[in-house]
Amino acid sequence: MANVTLKVNGKTHTVDIDPSTPLLYILRNDLDLHGPRFGCGLGQCGACTVIINGVATRSCITPTSSVKSDITTLEGLSKDGALHPLQQAWIEEQVPQCGFCQNGQIMTAKALLDKTPKPTDAQIREGMARTLCRCMTYYRIQAAIKRASQQIAGIEPASDKKEVVA
């Protein structure tokens, strides 16, 4: 065990832990940040994603001792009580089914949009390709990323009316 200092969502924490512990367990169990979630522990699904240095990082395979920069979790996306445009778009599109994977989807999309503010459909699909959802909400996730991208660019998102009643 050793004292490790982490800066998460702008707040500094010092925890007495085994520094080789994957960051996910420290965030969830010691810092009570439950945005990042356990899905595989293998870096395959994305449920545990946090953003470190602008990079969507899988905290389940990231030793805590290796983290030298500020960490942003899902809880840190909103600013002054206002949701991030991605979170807002997720609500507008009513994206989640069970919602367990959506931390990974939103955080991966955040890193994608920060780097590529106006992604093409192909860039969205590629950028999100390794972030899994077992309720298969991909169609709505992709729509929400486009909506958020337009929102950030100041474009009024086109209304997504798919209602057809025979």
Residues lying near other proteins in the complex (CB under 8 A) are found at: 1, 18, 21-22, 25, 28-29, 32-35, 37-42, 44-45, 47, 73-75, 77-78, 83, 87, 90-91, 94-103, 106, 121, 124-126, 128-142, 162-166
We find the least distance from the C-beta atom of residue 129 to other proteins, in angstroms, to be: 5
| Residue whose CB is less far from other proteins, 103 or 149 | 103
**Minimum distance between the CB of residue 20 and other proteins, rounded to whole angstroms?**
8
C-alpha count within 13 angstroms, C-beta hemisphere, residue 62: 23
Radius of gyration, alpha carbons of the chain: 17
Closest to 120 measured CA to CA, from 156, 146, 87: 146
**Shorter beta-carbon distance to other proteins: residue 55 or 101:** 101
Q: In the complex, what is the shortest distance from the CB of residue 156 to other proteins, in angstroms, rounded to a whole number?
A: 19
Q: What angle do CA 133, 137, 139 make, to 5 degrees?
A: 125
In the complex, what is the shortest distance from the CB of residue 163 to other proteins, in angstroms, rounded to a whole number?
7
Nearer to other proteins, 29 or 69 (CB): 29
Nearer of residues 114 and 139 to other proteins, judged by Cβ: 139
Shortest CB 145 distance to other proteins, Å: 10
Q: Of the candidates 108, 93, 156, 104, which has an alpha carbon nearest to the alpha carbon of residue 133?
A: 104
Exposed, middle or buried, 158 (CB in 10 Å: 0-12/13-18/19+)? Answer: exposed
What whole-number distance in Å separates Cα of residue 165 and Cα of residue 22?
50
